[in-house]
Amino acid sequence: MTLAANLIQIMRGISSRRRQAWFRALGVRIEGHLWLRNISIPRNWHSIRLADGVALDDHVVLLCTACPADGGISIGNNSYLNRFTMIDASIAIMIGRNCMIGPHCYITDHDHGFAPGMLVRDQPLRGAATTIGDNVWIGAGAIILKGVTIGDNAVIAAGAVVTSAVAPGEVVAGVPARRRRMIADAG
């Protein structure tokens, strides 16, 4: 590695440590060492838990809106969120250990009501906790909607829109996401 590359790596490490200290001071529960690039946590810092080894790449957004005391966003050990991914919680979103989440993904636990005769912006949020198990791989641009549970070792294909539960070891793809196969299946 060249001297310039070493200096860049050192500066990135210092920046990551500085971000960790800043978010800790704001109330984010940080458990261990993280890798934080240029991320955004705009509010409700106390509703976010990041376990040891979590890596959040550039422009990841962790957004909590009026989460209950026992809710919020929880990201397990050694999970990685790629660039421009947004986690949007109003109830609870739990991401397990060793997950890989691709760029431009959106994971939420709520949506808006759409009763007739009422402006969309005035509709109440409707929510249900969203849970992602351990060792889950979510491809680029995937969307995970409210109330979904994704089992351990599942794979969500790029661009999939997940509207219902995904079994452990299941591979899903499409809009809406449908089972393609199990991890143990050939082909």
Contact between 23 and 42 under an 8 Å Cβ cutoff? The reply is no
User: For the purposes of burial, counting CB atoms within 10 Å of the CB of 50, is it exposed (0-12), middle (13-18) or buried (19 or more)?
Assistant: buried
The answer to whether the peptide bond before residue 116 is cis (omega within 30 degrees of 0) is no
Longest dimension (CA), the chain: 64
Contact between 131 and 154 under an 8 Å Cβ cutoff? The reply is no
Contact between 99 and 137 under an 8 Å Cβ cutoff? The reply is yes
* 177/162 Cα distance (integer angstroms): 5
* 150/156 Cα distance (integer angstroms): 9
Q: Given the residues 33, 59, 104, 112, select the one marked as catalytic.
A: 112
| Strands of the 86-89 sheet, one edge to the other | 61-64, 86-89, 106-108, 143-144, 161-162
Confirm whether 112 is a catalytic residue.
yes
Residue type, 105: C
What residues act catalytically? 112
